[in-house]
Amino acid sequence: EFTHQFFGDSEGIFGYVDLRVDIYYSASRLSTYFGMSYTDKVDPKKSGGVQPDNVQKIIQEKLEVEFGTNIDDFVSSLSKESSFRPHGELLKCFTVDGEENCKQTFDVYRADVSVPGFQQYHQKMQTFILWFIDAASFIEVDDERWEYFTIFERVVSNG
CA distance 68 to 96: 35
Q: Does 2 fall in a domain? A: no
Residue range 132-140: average pLDDT?
Answer: 80
Number of domain units in the chain: 2
Determine which helix (DSSP H) or strand (DSSP E) holds 37, and give its type and residue range: strand 32-37
In-domain check, residue 11: no
Same domain, 89 and 143: yes
Q: Are residues 92 and 140 in the same domain?
A: yes
The number of helices, as runs of H, and strands, as runs of E, in the chain is 5, 7
d(CA 69, CA 58): 14
Shared domain for 95 and 131, answered yes or no, is: yes
The answer as to whether 9 is a domain residue is no
The answer to whether position 10 is within a domain reads no
CATH number (domain holding residue 135): 3.40.630.30
What mean pLDDT is predicted for residues 109-128?
93
Average pLDDT over residues 83-98: 92
Residue 91 vs residue 13, higher pLDDT: 91
Is 92 found in the same domain as 72?
no
Residue 150 has phi, psi (to 5 degrees) of: -125, 150
Q: Name the residue range of residue 26's domain.
A: 16-79
- Predicted confidence (pLDDT) per residue in 138-150, tens digit: 888 777 889 999 9
> What is the pTM assigned to this prediction?
0.82
CATH number at residue 73: 3.90.360.10
